């Protein structure tokens, strides 16, 4: 959206345009949301305030003109309020039951040009695979995306695999504790947001998940991120933890299972080395 505003500007002969423009940018005086104007002989650079540069460029002149300005939009200006939403890759997620869901979805797409789809969450995280039901509120009809985080890429289908971007800082904190001699077991790996990042520092990562869709995406993500020190197991962590091959192999065990991770403490201890974390 553009609006017409009367601004101060610097009139400069075309042959002197670039050095004057560079100086205005360096000074922080250039009005970036207004379009530069021109005629046969002159350029007109919009500036934020009445500025004096005649001592450096005697052929310039300061005057006022009407400029087309891009009006910076905000959620407040579009909706009258700031909505709650999550962004994962090029997908945004909102509450499907919000009475303003369609307006919110349209505003998100206008405000974030990389967003291709807005999904409405129709259920909480549920079931043994910890996924949600969605409907497409706006944009492309899809639930699959590629999410980028701390130099890693994760291909995910949000309708089939649990993923939250809200743990990004926690994932980095955990990865920073791992060194090159460590073996790490991720008991509830999902599509690999902990496992992939940790594998960049660890000696070996064993990634476990009982959701076949999650382990398929994990395999893709390992290839996508050039990870070759990871063992992927599609199984219930409660069962695989007692595999003799995993007995006390881990320097670190990751248990990202909200609300019920404590139910698997015995299994984690069978995997963990003495003195492990």
Distance of CA 35 to the CA centre of its chain: 31
Asked which of 142, 157, 190 is the last residue of a domain, the reply is 142
Domain identity same for 136 and 181: no
Assigned domain for 247 exists: yes
Asked which of 70, 93, 120 is the last residue of a domain, the reply is 70
What's the whole-model pTM score?
A: 0.73
Closest listed residue to residue 253, CA positions, set 276, 235, 274: 276
- The enclosing H or E element of 193 equals helix 193-199
The 3-class SS string of 47-115 reads: ECCCCCCCCCCCCCEEEEEEEEEECCCCHHHHHCCCCCCEEECCEEEEECCCCCHHHHHHHHHHHCCCC
| Residues 114, 90 contacting (CB under 8 angstroms) | yes
Q: What is the pLDDT of residues 167-199, one digit of tens each?
A: 998 999 999 999 889 999 999 999 999 999 999
Domain identity same for 186 and 246: yes
Domain identity same for 198 and 133: no
Q: Which residues of the chain have pLDDT under 50?
A: none
Q: What is the pLDDT of residues 11-32, one digit of tens each?
A: 999 988 898 888 888 888 888 8
Q: How many whole angstroms separate alpha carbon 253 and alpha carbon 183?
A: 9
Q: Which domain holds residue 249?
A: 166-271
Instruction: Output the domain CATH number for residue 51.
Output: 3.30.70.2580
- Domain count across the chain: 3
Asked which of 43, 70, 97 is the last residue of a domain, the reply is 70
């Amino acid at each position: 959206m553009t609006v017409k505003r009367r601004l101060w500007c610097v009139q400069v002969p075309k042959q002197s345009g670039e050095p004057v423009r560079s100086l205005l940018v360096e000074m922080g005086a250039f009005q970036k949301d207004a379009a530069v104007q021109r005629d046969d002989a002159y350029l007109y650079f919009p500036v934020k305030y009445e500025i004096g540069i005649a001592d450096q460029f005697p052929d310039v002149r300061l005057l006022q003109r009407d400029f087309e300005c891009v009006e910076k939009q905000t959620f407040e200006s579009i909706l009258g309020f700031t909505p709650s939403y999550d962004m994962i890759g090029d997908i945004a997620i909102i509450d499907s039951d919000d009475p303003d869901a369609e307006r919110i979805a349209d505003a998100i797409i206008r405000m974030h040009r990389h967003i291709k789809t807005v999904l409405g969450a129709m259920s909480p995280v549920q079931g043994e695979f910890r996924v949600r039901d969605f409907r497409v509120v706006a944009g492309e009809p899809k639930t699959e995306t590629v999410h980028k985080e701390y130099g890693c890429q994760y291909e995910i289908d949000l309708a089939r695999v649990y993923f939250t971007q809200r743990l990004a800082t926690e994932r980095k904190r955990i990865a920073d504790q791992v060194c090159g001699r460590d073996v790490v077991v991720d008991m509830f790996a999902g599509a690999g947001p902990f496992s992939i990042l940790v594998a960049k520092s660890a000696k070996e990562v064993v990634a476990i998940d009982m959701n076949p869709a999650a382990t398929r995406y994990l395999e893709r993500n390992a290839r996508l991120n050039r990870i070759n020190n990871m063992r992927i197991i599609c199984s219930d962590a409660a069962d695989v933890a007692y595999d003799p091959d995993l007995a006390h192999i881990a320097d670190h065990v990751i248990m990202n299972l909200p609300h019920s991770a404590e139910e698997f403490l015995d299994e984690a201890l069978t995997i963990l080395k003495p003195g492990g974390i």
